[in-house]
Amino acid sequence: MIDDPDQKHLERCVEVASDALRAWNEPFGSALVSRDGGVLFKAFNQVGGGEANRRHVWGTLSDVLRRPR
């Protein structure tokens, strides 16, 4: 069984996936959520421009996490 906070985060991922479709990308949305339920990062896979320009969320997240704070 899924609890309400997780359900809300899943619904947000579906919204992000819809954003991806509107941007001519594949419908994959992701969110990184902290233990207290705050959304730290959200994004979708970027596939426009062919295989050379493909960008998966995990790669984008990795770049964000490596940035100096």
- H/E/C letters for each residue in the chain? CCCHHHHHHHHHHHHHHHHHHHCCCCCCEEEEECCCCCEEEEEECECCCCHHHCECHHHHHHHHHHCCC
pLDDT of residue 46: 78
Per-residue pLDDT of 13-56, as tens digits, reads 999 999 989 988 888 888 888 899 999 888 888 776 666 567 77
Residues with Cβ within 8 Å of 50's Cβ and at least 6 positions away in sequence, in order, are none
Residue-range domain boundaries for the chain: 4-66
Instruction: Identify the pLDDT of residue 26.
Output: 83
> What is the pTM assigned to this prediction?
0.73
Contacts of 17 (CB under 8 A, 6+ apart): 27, 28, 29, 44
